[in-house]
Amino acid sequence: MRIHGAKQQRVAIKRASRNQLEPVFKALDTLGNTKWRVNKRILAVLDRIWASGGHLAGLVDREDVHLPEEPQTEDEAEIQKWRWKVKSVKKENSERHSQRCDVELKLAVARKMKDEEGFYYPHNLDFRGRAYPMHPYLNHLGSDVCRGILEFAEGRPLGKSGLRWLKIHLANLYAGGVDKLSYDGRISFTENHLDDIFDSADRPLEGQHWWLGAEDPFQCLAVCINLSEALRSPSPETAISHTPVHQDGSCNGLQHYAALGRDKLGAAAVNLVGGGKPADVYSGIAARVLDIMRRDAEIDPAINLNSMHAKLLVDQVDRKLVKQTVMTSVYGVTYIGARDQIKRRLKERCIIADVPQLYSAACYAAKTTLTALEEMFEGARWIMAWLGECAKLMGGPAYGSAQVRILI
């Protein structure tokens, strides 16, 4: 366990009996006994893209952004804009350098391991009890690049159920709203794009590039290859698959809070109640944010300064803009954290060139998103605030007092 010098955790582990820890050991053993290998076809595609300069399928550009030339003027406003642009470009180049180093590390490990029949990832726990692979660069919990490169070393026949789930998995990876259809709808999506899937598998960089439109392109390409091989075989259901099919909860933190608070509205938003197709909490929050911004946009800017920002952002509100903030809200994201998250999303879209304006627009969007969250998950916010007050009382000088004992 990673404890970072926390004495209390070491003491707690020593006090625990073997029987108490046995389920934890078994879980870690199961994860550590899973054999993985490198998907050589995906690695080959990655190497070709990287050698040609990157900047494709989510990979960082291998070239730096050129610094803007200093304006030949004495206008202080123009000079200030130039300084902001220089600062922004230098920050962008610094981030690109870090991302390039990260890609090089991942590719170096993959190239080193590509001829191995299989390898294993020992896992340990963090302070929350979450299990993570101990190898930091290339693992199955990493980015789309990592997950696309890795596959199970031990294949299994797909069977009828496996073939069905492989089609669903492909639709989930393509996303763009497809992952919010019913299971039958996602299967239909895959079956309606079989020509694109075959083309992606046969000519990933020379063909129609359908796989590049996916939200997780390298994982999508890996499934295209696997599904093409299966469907072209005499018996698709007996085809061997090495592909991991992902399944996940819907914003797990909010699921826990909705259950704790018996919050029916919140529970419906995070799929704790049944339905014909999955609910999407991020789209729900985005819709509320859009309603607030539309109301603000109708107000005279002289009366409400937010009106200008609302008019600028009203066409940019979607689930991707708010997703990270919604996800991290249950982990205590602050207004500053939410502002920085949304600022990054807006910067990626290149809709606001002026740096101060981008900052103020991100401030407004962050406040609006947090307001929408409080409206939709009032019970969750109340419980989070209550737990926070409990923690303050227990950690403060009042610890052990009658007040805290009654609270507990």
CB atoms within 10 A of CB 167: 22
Q: How far apart are CA 219 and CA 149, in angstroms?
A: 8
What architecture does CATH give domain 155-247?
Orthogonal Bundle (1.10)
Give dist(CA 310, CA 301) in Å, integer.
10
pTM for the model stands at 0.77
Per-residue pLDDT of 305-355, as tens digits, reads 788 888 889 889 998 899 999 888 887 788 899 999 999 999 888 888 778
User: What pLDDT does residue 406 have?
Assistant: 42
pLDDT of amino acid 407: 42
Domain 252-395 class?
mainly alpha
Neighbours of 226 (CB within 10 A): 24
Residue 129 token pair: 């009890």
Per the CB < 8 A criterion, the answer to whether 346 and 270 are in contact is no
Handedness of CA 39, 41, 46, 48 (dihedral sign): positive
Averages of pLDDT over each 10 residues, the chain, 408 residues: 74 81 92 96 97 93 93 87 92 95 96 95 85 91 95 96 96 86 92 96 95 95 97 95 90 86 84 82 90 89 79 89 88 87 89 84 92 83 85 68 43
Q: What is the pLDDT of residue 275?
A: 75
Of 35, 45, 32, the residue nearest 148 (C-alpha)? 45
Domain boundaries, the chain: 1-62+92-141, 155-247, 252-395
Query: How many angstroms separate the CA atoms of 260 and 191, rounded?
Result: 40
